[in-house]
Amino acid sequence: MSRAVSRTVSGAGSPAVRRAARRRVVESDVCIIGGGITAAMVAERLAERTSATITVVEAGGRTASLDERSDTRARMLAYGENPWPNDNIRGQTGSGAMYNSMVVGGSAMHWGGAVPRFSPEDFRLRSLYGVASDWPISFDELEPYYQEAEERIGVAGEQGPPEYDPRSKPYPMPPLPLSYSLERMREWTEKTDIPFWTQPWARNTEPYQGRNVCRRCDTCFVCPTGAKYTPDFAFDRLLADGRIDLVTRTLVRRLNLEPGSDRIAVAEAVDRDSPDEPVEFRAGTFVIASGHAWSSHLLLLSANSRFPDGLANRTGNVGRYMTGHWYLSGFINLPMRLYPGMFVYNSLLSRRFASPGPLDRYVRHDLRLWESTVGRTPRIVDDDGQILWGDEIMADWRARTESESTARIRAYYDLLPDRDSRLTLDPGKANELGDPMPRIDYRPAQESIDLEDHTVETISGRFEELARAAGGSMRSIGQPSELWEHPGGGCRMGDDPATSVVDRWGRTHDHENLFVVGAPTIVSGGCANGTLTFCALSLMSAEEMQKELPSA
């Protein structure tokens, strides 16, 4: 793959590059550290609305371009190969639940693409329910940025009931068509008092931003048509327009202060292709867009005599309140015939219990339903333990599938973070440069631990209620997951520097020209995939950055 390097051309959008004593210096108005989806949001907005010079620094390189994805998909199907070559850096990995993708586009190069919003209640947990903490912003304040993120990404969705799915404008595109199986399942859910609608997706249902329409080919891990949004599309547009400089395969190792000041002056980095020549990035504004793990990691690595516990960490909150959510899942036997196999990732979604109204005891969750092949494959032993032979296998399979099918159900539930749910530097694990790697030890708050039995009982009861409404039965209910889905935290936002790292715009309390954006800044994990919220928060931060940059 070709490698983008710093340009030496002057003019709008191009930083100045000079060499000093075997040290390459890149100067720009804005330096964005990280090349994932939140970096793409910030770079796009600043490039459109300011004339600032912008440098994006990515530790990884390029992976499969859109033109190459049909071939890498084919090899994935034929040989089980990874369709995303070069998507991580050997040795640059920590411990605990974290994403290891380091590549232009980040983990959103191979994300699922589900983009629900958080619920209004997520931002007012203390005020409404007396648990955890309120965010310093409200849903209404973030809502315009949710809409902007959906328009930048290209989201296809269906408006749910306004009381559970508030929106100021329609989705950019109509929802993906339901499969036959989901149509039948929707008929079933309409017999209940639980409203379901279609999961929103970062996939095109009509031509959008020069990209194709989703063909529902069921290899969403690698979309061969470009219908699913990936951040490299945004970076490539900005590069073609000369509005950013993208420096790849360059790992930022620490941030340094201006002498006698708390402002950030330099990001020290190493070019992985020329490790003997250090690289310095100098800018008026620095933006850490490195995800929930690597953002806190960089701040901790940047400790100095003035900030001995790490930058932005005067009150000791960097790396704390790591968050996410758990889920309960199950399978329902349904007295209907379904035909799984068309866009099996699609689901029916309900946010009814994410916006539950007053509660005696706290529990909030979403509900998702989708088709399943569990129990629908041939078997060689029947329920009585008798071995099946020849035509008996097909007869048994037909008898089990013609009258009954299986649906999968899942509930992501809100898990409140503890202050000691944290990321630290692991002295026993280092990369090839000798830098200690991050270690994440997730811990739910005692409130969530105390409520766990109540939470599982409540959600399981709702699963049973849905099964009965269809005339079916629960096949199984899984134990709560401890995978910490959709993680975030480590640099949480707040108005009080004593309990937070950044303010509502992502500006660090300790350094006026340093922003942290996206996943690290969230206060709690909610009941839904967090990517759209990370993007909306990044756009809100970018609007604040604009105020101190030259206008377009």
Q: How many CA atoms lie within 13 A of 220 on its CB side?
A: 20
**Residue 256: enclosing H or E segment and its boundaries?**
strand 250-257
Using DSSP bridges, classify how beta strands 245-247 and 54-57 pair: parallel, antiparallel or unpaired. parallel
User: In this predicted structure, what is the pLDDT of residue 374?
Assistant: 67
Q: How many residues make up the chain in this entry?
A: 552
Q: Please give the single-letter amino acid code of residue 466.
A: L
Helix, strand, coil percentages, rounded to 5, for the chain:
25, 25, 50
pLDDT in tens, the chain (552 residues): 333 343 333 334 566 666 655 789 999 999 999 999 999 999 999 999 999 999 999 999 999 999 999 999 999 999 999 999 999 899 999 999 888 889 999 999 999 999 999 999 999 999 999 999 999 999 999 999 999 999 999 999 999 999 999 999 999 999 999 998 899 999 999 999 999 999 999 999 999 999 999 988 888 889 999 999 999 999 999 999 999 999 999 999 999 999 999 999 999 999 999 998 899 999 999 999 999 999 999 999 999 999 999 999 999 999 999 999 999 999 999 888 887 777 778 999 999 999 999 999 999 999 999 988 665 667 788 888 899 898 888 887 777 766 678 899 999 999 999 999 999 999 999 999 999 999 999 999 999 999 999 999 999 999 999 999 999 999 999 988 777 889 999 999 999 999 999 999 999 999 999 999 999 999 999 999 999 999 999 999 999 999 999 998
User: In this predicted structure, what is the pLDDT of residue 2?
Assistant: 33
Kindly state the DSSP code that residue 269 receives in the 8-state scheme. Answer: E
The residue ranges of every structural domain in the chain are 16-372+404-546
256 phi and psi angles, rounded to 5 deg: -120, 145
CATH of segment(s) 16-372+404-546:
3.50.50.60
